[in-house]
Amino acid sequence: ELKVEQNPLFLSMQEGKNYTIYCNYSTTSDRLYWYRQDPGKSLESLFVLLSNGAVKQEGRLMASLDTKARLSTLHITAAVHDLSATYFCAVDLYILGNEKLTFGTGTRLTIIP
């Protein structure tokens, strides 16, 4: 059974600081997604990582994937208040033509002025 673990679960950081959220998973997969969720809202797609070594950046967020280590990271640079949200990683298992995403437990990020 695929397990996806994120850490930390909760993160408070000051504006302007840098931090990294980690996503470990237990089964071989070469596809990983990062989503953002604001309270009471749905999931917003941030990054789609499709191969080992993939790195994508959008604004102050950068995501990477190491399929050999079964690890993805979401790095936040010079945090601003607008980034406060819950961030989920999700691993795509594609078995026998069937797709499903297995999500991590989420990291609740709070940016403090």
Partner 1 sequence: GAGVSQSPRYKVAKRGQDVALRCDPISGHVSLFWYQQALGQGPEFLTYFQNEAQLDKSGLPSDRFFAERPEGSVSTLKIQRTQQEDSAVYLCASSLANRNTEAFFGQGTRLTVV
Positions in the binding site for partner 1 (CB under 8 A): 4, 31, 33, 35, 41-43, 45, 48, 50, 88, 90, 92, 94, 97-106
Of 15, 11, 108, the residue nearest 60 (C-alpha): 15
| Least distance in angstroms from the C-beta of 30 to partner 1 | 11
Beta carbon nearer to partner 1, 22 or 103: 103
Beta carbon nearer to partner 1, 30 or 80: 30
Question: In whole angstroms, how far apart are CA 39 and each of 51, 85, 108?
Answer: 31, 7, 10
Beta carbon nearer to partner 1, 33 or 85: 33
Give the whole-angstrom CA distance, residue 22 versus residue 37: 17
| Least distance in angstroms from the C-beta of 21 to partner 1 | 13
Give the whole-angstrom CA distance, residue 12 versus residue 27: 30
